[in-house]
Amino acid sequence: MELRALGATGIMISALGLGTVKLGRDQQVKYPRGFTIPDDHAVRELLALAWDLGINLIDTAPAYGNSEERLGQLLPRTQDWKLITKVGEAFADGRSAFDFSAAATRTSVERSLQRLRRDSIDVVLVHSDGNDMAIIQEQETLGALDELKQRGLVRAYGMSTKTRAGGIWVAQHCDVVMATRNLDDDSDVPVIAAARQANAGVLVKKGLQSGHADRAHGGAGVEAAIRCVFSTPGVTSMTVGTIDRAHLRENVEITERVLAQLDRTPIGERQ
């Protein structure tokens, strides 16, 4: 799995990242079928396989139940994993709560550092509630993240956006933007283009449409979905959430095949 520069951050990440919602949360999720949260042994095996396959990027969040705590306990300390977590949203008692104040942002990062057992976090993203521009213009979240970056607690920051306007602003003013790109949603292509122009990192979410891209669930297929994402100029990495080792291995094999094919294809001819 090739490593790619995350914009101008100096952080090198794998083209495929491992999403970890399923390590800590099984309520109010949108996957096509139910699942059981894996035990510690299964998580260790999943993480070991991901590392062996060349994945060095993990995406987590306080909104993912106890995912952060489990990663802090189960990730080998001898391996140089790059971690993404988030601020702004917490999930408890079956519901999400949002707080974008500076105080909540600082508390959230400090708590994530403790849970993940880290001295610093590679990337912290604002977990948007859908009101991107209100968060940007009216809240203190990004300013607090910049302060934490200056203190060395955060290496890079940005937002997991939900609107085109918010995504473009973040791409132009922050280190990293997490945008949506899949076969059924090209609304963030201008966001990715803006990030490419600004040399900001681009992390793609929902590339496999929470599992619905699979032909078994009526989609166009995983390979077509992955090709769609990486055919979009400016994409750094795509995060895919799975607890199935066979699916993880398959996703990596497909990604490597697609990237090799795209390397031989001029940008203007990619589809």
- The per-residue pLDDT for 220 is 67
> What is the chain's mean pLDDT, rounded?
93
Residue 214 has pLDDT above 90, yes or no: no
Q: What is the CATH number of domain 3-263?
A: 3.20.20.100
Cα angle 161, 129, 83 (rounded to 5 degrees) comes to: 55
Residue 217 has pLDDT above 60, yes or no: no
Q: What is the pLDDT of residues 26-45, one digit of tens each?
A: 876 776 677 889 999 999 99
- The burial of 73, by beta-carbon neighbours within 10 Å (0-12 exposed, 13-18 middle, 19 or more buried), is given as middle
- The burial of 259, by beta-carbon neighbours within 10 Å (0-12 exposed, 13-18 middle, 19 or more buried), is given as middle
Binned at pLDDT 50, 70 and 90, residue 210 comes out as confident
Q: Is 64 a catalytic residue?
A: yes
Q: What is the pLDDT of residues 122-160, one digit of tens each?
A: 999 999 999 999 999 999 999 999 999 999 999 999 999
DSSP state of 18: E
Residue 168 has pLDDT above 60, yes or no: yes
**3-state class of 69 per DSSP?**
helix
> What is the rounded distance in angstroms from the CA atom of residue 160 to the CA atom of residue 221?
25
- The per-residue pLDDT for 271 is 56
- The per-residue pLDDT for 267 is 60
Domain boundaries, the chain: 3-263
The 10 Å Cβ neighbour count of residue 40 is 10
- The per-residue pLDDT for 205 is 96
> Which of 64, 91, 100, 230 does the annotation list as catalytic?
64
- The per-residue pLDDT for 92 is 79
Sequence-ordered list of residues with C-beta below 8 angstroms from that of 166, at least 6 positions apart, any chain: 128, 132, 133, 135, 136, 159
Helix axes 67-74, 102-116, angle to 10 degrees: 30
Beta bridge partners of 237: 203
Say if CB 65 and CB 89 are below 8 A apart: no
Binned at pLDDT 50, 70 and 90, residue 238 comes out as very high
Region 232-260: what's the mean pLDDT? Answer: 96
Region 70-97: what's the mean pLDDT? Answer: 93
Residue 93 has pLDDT above 90, yes or no: no
**3-state class of 20 per DSSP?**
coil
Region 72-100: what's the mean pLDDT? Answer: 93
> What is the rounded distance in angstroms from the CA atom of residue 70 to the CA atom of residue 25?
12
- The per-residue pLDDT for 264 is 78
Residue 89 has pLDDT above 60, yes or no: yes
Q: Tokens in use for 175?
A: 């280190």
pLDDT > 90: percent of the chain: 83
Binned at pLDDT 50, 70 and 90, residue 113 comes out as very high
DSSP state of 37: -
